[in-house]
Amino acid sequence: MHPHRGIETVTYVLSGRIEHQDSIGNKGVISEGDVQWMTAGSGILHQEMPQRTDDPLHGFQLWVNLPKAHKMMPPRYREVKSSEIPEARLEDGAEVKVIAGSFAGVTGPVRDLVVKVELFDVSLAQDVDVSLPAKAGDHAFVYIFEGSGHFEEGSRHALEDRHLAIFDDGGEIWAKAGRGGCRFLFAHGEPLREPIAWGGPIVMNTEKELERSFAELRSGKFIQ
């Protein structure tokens, strides 16, 4: 068991299995294509234990910072099975799993978010290009985990597997798959523009809040 406070953790499994258990009574297993969206808020203790399978464990855990007004909100947990995640299929060979937000008229199952972020798993066939929607002013990123792709029109250099591109001012983002196609995570959201004090699994706004959090953890008063 380990703590989190002040953030949301988003766990997306591509292969393998993870067993989850937390201090607010949730317990279960997620596997290929499943998502956990856990809001730590005022504090949660949880564990995520890989399970032995024939497939290697492969996936992502992203952190969404909570704004100051919601850092101490009650914790909550959402588990979304792969069967609940819809796909937007475009005629030219683009497939988009919509986890949170909307793409081509398809809306994902993760809603009622404190921070309005959108998250997609995008697959493109070779040489297929697509416009990725992001609100002007949002911060966005793409992370390639299969194949290669271009993310700037006219660019001769493709981003390869396990590379990240960050976009500071949202708007429409152009993407085109390289040889053999590509698959990548695409996410965007409005920046909070608040101070960040980060210590391991806890993210607050000030060092004083961070020190108080760890003092409460040591004294057994972390869970509010």
pLDDT (0 to 100) of residue 147: 97
Tens of pLDDT, residue by residue over 66-109, are 999 999 999 999 999 999 999 999 988 899 999 999 999 999 99
Q: Where are the domains of the chain?
A: 2-82+198-219, 85-189
Q: Please state the CATH superfamily assignment of the domain spanning residues 2-82+198-219 in this structure.
A: Jelly Rolls (2.60.120.10)
Residue of 185, 221, 167, 191 lying closest to 61 (CA atoms): 185
pTM: 0.95
Q: What whole-number distance in Å separates Cα of residue 131 and Cα of residue 134? A: 9
Q: What whole-number distance in Å separates Cα of residue 178 and Cα of residue 7? A: 35
Assign a CATH topology to domain 85-189: Jelly Rolls (2.60.120)
Domain 2-82+198-219 matches domain 85-189 at the CATH topology level: yes
